[in-house]
Amino acid sequence: MKTRSGKFRGGNRLGFISVMILTLILVVFAGASAVALEGNYEQREVDIWSDGTRLSGDLFYPSNIKKGQKLPAIIMSHGWGGLKSHLNNTYAPYFAEAGYVVLTFDYRGWGESDSRLVLIDEMPEPDSDGEITVTVKAIRQLVDPLDQSEDIINAINFIVGEPIVDPKRIGLWGSSFSGGLVLNVALKDPRVKCITTQVGSMDSSWPNLYYDIKKRNTRGPELFRRLK
């Protein structure tokens, strides 16, 4: 796993091998139903706000955490049409028992999260109380990479505010379509210290761009020009 503080040795090949090893580890976790959980973790429901829309999330963490202890955190996001319920059953508890804080969530318009609302009619003038009544369309089950990338960023905004989380040790885990999204987010958000992209769906140039930017530590306008 590549961290922001680390340096590459052996170029992109080493990074590729690291991703493959992590993918194999996660495949093992996928079959973890044969491994009994000891129940040494806690789980609670949370709400995350993303562009004014409520995202439904679940937070997992070790039950034996000590007072004042700060733990590394993993934000897990699913691929095309996937829901947090799958991550909750197959991955998150195992990472929590291993000593991580884990956040799973449904994208806007998916699963238990609220819909993105689109105004249908023209915006009316507010009344004397500043209130308006509008007709909107609820957008659900739409795969929008820009919206979903923003949802991941707002999940980061949420997790760094958790008292038990070390904000300097935030990692992203993405599978399939989200494997590409977490790479995109990591390119733009310096709070992300490591990523795991499992069978990631992405443009073939993205990994090389990721390693090149990490090496040169460049951000901003040049990054966005190269992503186009």
How confident is the model over 201-220, as pLDDT tens digits? 766 665 566 556 555 554 44
pLDDT tens readout for residues 160-184: 999 999 999 999 999 899 988 998 8
How far CA 8 is from CA of 35, 132, 173, in Å, comes to: 34, 55, 20
Distance from C-alpha of 220 to C-alpha of 120, rounded to nearest angstrom: 35
Bridge partners of 182, per DSSP, are none
Distance from C-alpha of 142 to C-alpha of 102, rounded to nearest angstrom: 25
Distance from C-alpha of 180 to C-alpha of 185, rounded to nearest angstrom: 9
What tokens appear for 72 in the block?
Answer: 């590394």
Query: pLDDT tier at 187 (50, 70, 90 boundaries)?
Result: confident
* Position with higher pLDDT, 99 vs 25: 99
Residues 6+ apart with CB under 8 A from 15: 2, 8, 207, 211
pLDDT computed for residue 200 by the predictor: 72
Task: Reply yes or no on domain 12-114+144-227 having CATH 3.30.230.70.
Answer: no
Residues 6+ apart with CB under 8 A from 223: 187, 188, 213
pTM check: above 0.95? no
| 16-22: long-range contacts, CB 8 A cutoff, minimum separation 24 | 16/207, 19/196, 19/197, 22/196, 22/198
